Structure 1
Amino acid sequence: MTKHCLMVGAGLSGAVIGRLLAEAGHRVTVADARDHVAGNCHTARDAATGVMVHVYGPHIFHTDDAEVWDYVNRFATFRPYRNRVKTVSDGRVYSLPINLHTINQFFGKTLRPDEARAFIAAKADHSIAEPQSFEEQALRFVGRELYEAFFKGYTLKQWGCSPHDLPASILKRLPLRFNYDDDYFAHRFQGMPEQGYTAMVEAILDHPGISVRLQSPVARADAAGYDHVFYSGPIDGWFDYRLGRLGYRTLDFQRFTYAGDYQGCAVMNYADAAVPQTRITEHKHFAPWEDHAGSVLYREVPRACEPGDIPYYPIRLVAEKALLSDYVALAAAEPGVTFVGRLGTYRYLDMDVTIREALDCGRRYLAALAEGAPMPAFAASPL
């Protein structure tokens, strides 16, 4: 029997699940409060310069998931792109992630890999046996000098609290390399869609079984009449924040232009706490196959997310996780709704993971239909 499903949100989650269900013969309505598809990976050409701008901050596609890579290439032509990030610390420019060049430059050395490994091991604080915080993990991992130069100030700005109050798991995701590899990501497949992410998502949504409604916010009461709802908005928002608001960090984007090449790279981080921005992004460098005389740039300044702001980074400290557990319990008792994506599951997700979870979620729904089984509130656990 044909079902009519509602996707709340026209980002990657809603588009991918919607396409899968439409290809299986079901009717799909995709609704989004914004005036464009693609969510936070929305891209648009700047009229004055021709630069493809990542409107809500840069998104670089990287994955080891071959199926996900094949999927996005089905809807867009991807061009090779490697993210090579620089950072300014105490008035000097270094490469990130911390690699052999960074170590040698920072300490004024010419160490070989084995020498650098021993050198950093001697800097590490071995008195910290089981790091409990971001700060302890950094001190145990790289020592005080590198921690204070590259991590402390940046982390304070990004999260708005002391690194001593953040979990050690955040730093465990950051690599330290004892070679000259300055590729920010280590995944097999990396690239950028030649015509931007919005064109890619429009192609995913281009199916006769899918109707798209933009500038159409959806409240819980609006979901009646659909056979199933896939909700990619904030999970607390679905319940009108009745238990309180989950904590996020948001970003203020300070846009400016430049007649030329402003910084020579796509991403320049600013590690010092005294500098307000965490980074400046120069968007023409995200499309190195294009040539533009002018440039469009954004300073990114993090702050606490307030009502009406765009939530970017879920905080997920102890209090937030406790509140999330309460919302998960509410969601589990909510019939006919599955919560998906970054906001729906209150997790920071890269694009490839978002697509993988969307594919898995859509397939699980189709399997549930075939078996006559209920669809759970979460295809991927938020806890």
Structure 2
Amino acid sequence: MVGAGLSGAVIGRRLAEQGHKITVMDGRPHIGGNCHTERDTETGVLVHLYGPHIFHTDDEEVWAYVNRFATFRPYKNRVKTTTRGAVYSLPINLHTINQFFGQTLRPEEARRFIEAKADTTISDPQTFEEQALRFVGRDLYEAFFQGYTIKQWGCSPTELPASILKRLPVRFNYDDNYFFHRFQGMPEEGYTAMIARILDHPNITVHLEATVTRDRAAAFDHVFYSGPIDGWFDFRLGRLGYRTLDFERFSHKGDWQGCAVMNYGDVDVPWTRITEHKHFAPWESHDGSVLYREYSRACGPDDIPYYPIRQVAEKSLLAEYVALARAEENVTFTGRLGTYRYLDMDVTIREALDCAAAYLRAVGDGGAMPAFTVNPL
């Protein structure tokens, strides 16, 4: 398993339970990948070192799986945003609409009100901006989407596909729970403790700060690779585009912002959001507080890749790497980086469980394991 994040841990555990000897290698000094959590030595706050991760899913099997390795506490993600000198709740809901427009609308009235502001001349939205204008109108788009999107993606919303905003989160009630899945929560001891338990099996050996080359990988029966797909091939065709994040840490005595996540919609505010990490564990009590300002920018060769861009040029390059990958033997590309797709944690685990099942079937049938169990294109 190249990578000690969710993909490598879940696949490795399932195969280890079936008698396979598993070697997990990761270049970082810790397990957990970008889900890594650790205690801040100054305050005792449990910190999501690579940005917050909130578990939410409708998949009962995945929910049962993570609860096997961790105690999950109830947690609802209630995001706020500061824009134009005021604070609003996200996703856009009835309270947001009434507050923003100075109204006291009921649900049916609010729906008609927003429909009247929508640009109905746009019949087939092709860009992010057209999608927003078509469904919420210019006022809400400019306040809540335009500036944040420019900062997050480093380009105009007119250059982004409408698919990014296909499921526009607008609610005509007062529900401010950011997610809509049945199961939502946080592991009481953090994600790293959960992943450590997944990896805790006599058939699993973990090596940290260990790099894996294609030559070294040839010594194994099969490799499950959850690193960047272009990195497996030493970037011979060029680098796939990502956005990365810079985190500016600061601490505070007391409560800085009163919520876990505060977005900043104004384009002249350089950060996209501030996260206050003690609010991700409301069952704990801490006098001090740890916060991070997040800044999004283009990902360089030495940066941690976060968000795959997947524009036309990137998809074209991806197709070339996928062709190379499918010509490889005894390697399966998994996870967010291995398939160059943005994946929530529950989807990552679902695909890992399915990938492990596919490998066990292939071994049992004497067949070949494909390079991908999910088409990345």
User: Is TM > 0.5 for Structure 1 vs Structure 2?
Assistant: yes
Instruction: Determine if the alignment matches structure 1 residue 128 to structure 2 residue 115.
Output: no
Out of 255, 259, 272, the position equivalent to 1:261 is 255
Task: Return the offset for 1:164.
Answer: 0.3
Match of 1:98 in 2: 92
Instruction: Determine if the alignment matches structure 1 residue 21 to structure 2 residue 24.
Output: no
Task: Return the offset for 1:346.
Answer: 0.2
Match of 2:59 in 1: 65
Task: Return the offset for 1:336.
Answer: 0.5
Q: Write the distance in 1 (CA, Å) between the matches of 2:215 and 2:200.
A: 27
Gaps of 5+ in 2: none
Q: Write the distance in 1 (CA, Å) between the matches of 2:25 and 2:54.
A: 25
Match of 1:107 in 2: 101
Q: Write the distance in 2 (CA, Å) between the matches of 1:95 and 1:222.
A: 50
Out of 139, 147, 156, the position equivalent to 2:150 is 156
Instruction: Determine if the alignment matches structure 1 residue 314 to structure 2 residue 335.
Output: no
Task: Return the offset for 1:174.
Answer: 3.3
Q: Write the distance in 1 (CA, Å) between the matches of 2:211 and 2:263.
A: 35
Match of 2:373 in 1: 379
Aligned residues: 377
Q: Deviations over 1:254-308 (max 9, x none)?
A: 0000001000000000001100110000000000000000000000000000001
Out of 206, 214, 219, the position equivalent to 2:213 is 219
Task: Return the offset for 1:224.
Answer: 1.4
Runs of 4 or more off by more than 6 Å in structure 1? none
Match of 1:296 in 2: 290
Please state whether the residue corresponding to 1:34 is helix, strand or coil.
coil
Task: Return the offset for 1:48.
Answer: 1.2
Instruction: Determine if the alignment matches structure 1 residue 186 to structure 2 residue 180.
Output: yes
Instruction: Determine if the alignment matches structure 1 residue 341 to structure 2 residue 335.
Output: yes
Q: Write the distance in 1 (CA, Å) between the matches of 2:72 and 2:22.
A: 27
Instruction: Determine if the alignment matches structure 1 residue 34 to structure 2 residue 28.
Output: yes
Q: Deviations over 1:106-130 (max 9, x none)?
A: 0000000000000000000000000
Please state whether the residue corresponding to 2:206 is helix, strand or coil.
strand
Instruction: Determine if the alignment matches structure 1 residue 201 to structure 2 residue 195.
Output: yes
Instruction: Determine if the alignment matches structure 1 residue 141 to structure 2 residue 142.
Output: no
Task: Return the offset for 1:343.
Answer: 0.2
Query: What is the correspondence of 1:236-275 to structure 2 with a 5 Å cutoff?
Result: 236-275=230-269
- Give the aligned residue type for 1:368: A
- Give the aligned residue type for 2:95: H
Task: Return the offset for 1:173.
Answer: 3.1
Task: Return the offset for 1:61.
Answer: 0.2
Please state whether the residue corresponding to 1:256 is helix, strand or coil.
strand
Match of 1:3 in 2: none
Match of 2:344 in 1: 350
Q: Deviations over 1:86-110 (max 9, x none)?
A: 0001110000000000000000000
Gaps of 5+ in 1: 1-6
Q: Deviations over 1:309-355 (max 9, x none)?
A: 00000000000000000000000001110000000000000000000
Q: Deviations over 1:147-191 (max 9, x none)?
A: 000000000000001100100011113311000000000000000
- Give the aligned residue type for 2:211: P
Match of 1:4 in 2: none
Out of 204, 215, 224, the position equivalent to 1:210 is 204
Q: Write the distance in 2 (CA, Å) between the matches of 1:279 and 1:61.
A: 19
Q: Write the distance in 2 (CA, Å) between the matches of 1:258 and 1:182.
A: 27
Would you say the 8 A contact 1:97–1:174 is kept in 2?
no
Identity %: 76
TM score, norm. by length of structure 1: 0.98
Please state whether the residue corresponding to 1:15 is helix, strand or coil.
helix
Would you say the 8 A contact 1:86–1:94 is kept in 2?
yes
- Give the aligned residue type for 1:296: V
TM score, norm. by length of structure 2: 1.00
Please state whether the residue corresponding to 2:114 is helix, strand or coil.
helix
Instruction: Determine if the alignment matches structure 1 residue 87 to structure 2 residue 81.
Output: yes
Q: Write the distance in 2 (CA, Å) between the matches of 1:83 and 1:207.
A: 33
Please state whether the residue corresponding to 1:8 is helix, strand or coil.
coil
